Amino acid sequence: KAGESATREGDAGATAFFIVSGVVHVAIGRGEKAQTVGKLETGEVFGEMALIDPGPRSATVTAACDTECLAASYQDFVSAIEENPERAVGFMKTLVRRLRKMNELLERDSPDGRGFREMLLDCQPSAGSPEASALPWTMLW
C-alpha cells in the first residue's frame, strides 16, 4: 500500500523484489537525516544485493502509490538461474549499472572536486606493507 515500507535500512534482508506495477522511493539515512535518493518503477528491482550476500539493507524502500511486487529469495534466484542462465546476465547488468551510477556520483560529489578515486589513492598503503597485502585496493578501479 502507498506509504508502506518494503525494506528498512539496517534491517536484515534475504529477499529481492521485482516491481510488477507501481512506484517506490529509495531513501538512505534514518529519521530526520533520511533523504530520498531515487525512484524505481515497474520492471525494476530492489533488494538485489540480498540475493548474493544476505545482510543489512542499505536503504529504505517505500511505496509511493499502491505497488505490486514479486519477492524472490536466494534459493528462488539460484533455481531461476539454473533453469534459465540468461536471467543471470540480466541481473548482473542491473548490478553493474547501479555500480557505475554510484561511481559517477562519488566522482562528481567529492569534497574537493578531485574525485573519490584520487582521495583513495591518498589513503592507499605503500606497496609491500602488511596493510596493502590485506586489502583488495585493485577492486576499486
Of residues 136 and 105, more confidence is placed in 105
pTM to 2 decimal places: 0.68
pLDDT in tens, 78-124: 888 888 888 778 778 888 888 887 777 666 665 666 666 666 666 66
76: left (phi over 0), alpha (psi -120 to 50) or beta: alpha
pLDDT at position 133 over 60: no
110: left (phi over 0), alpha (psi -120 to 50) or beta: beta
Q: What is the mean pLDDT of the chain?
A: 81
pLDDT at position 132 over 80: no
- Tell me how far apart the alpha carbons of residues 67 and 2 are, in angstroms, rounded to a whole number: 7
CB 23 within 8 A of CB 41: yes
Give me the pLDDT at residue 11, please.
Answer: 94
Q: Name the residue type at position 10.
A: G
Give me the pLDDT at residue 122, please.
Answer: 66
Give me the pLDDT at residue 118, please.
Answer: 67
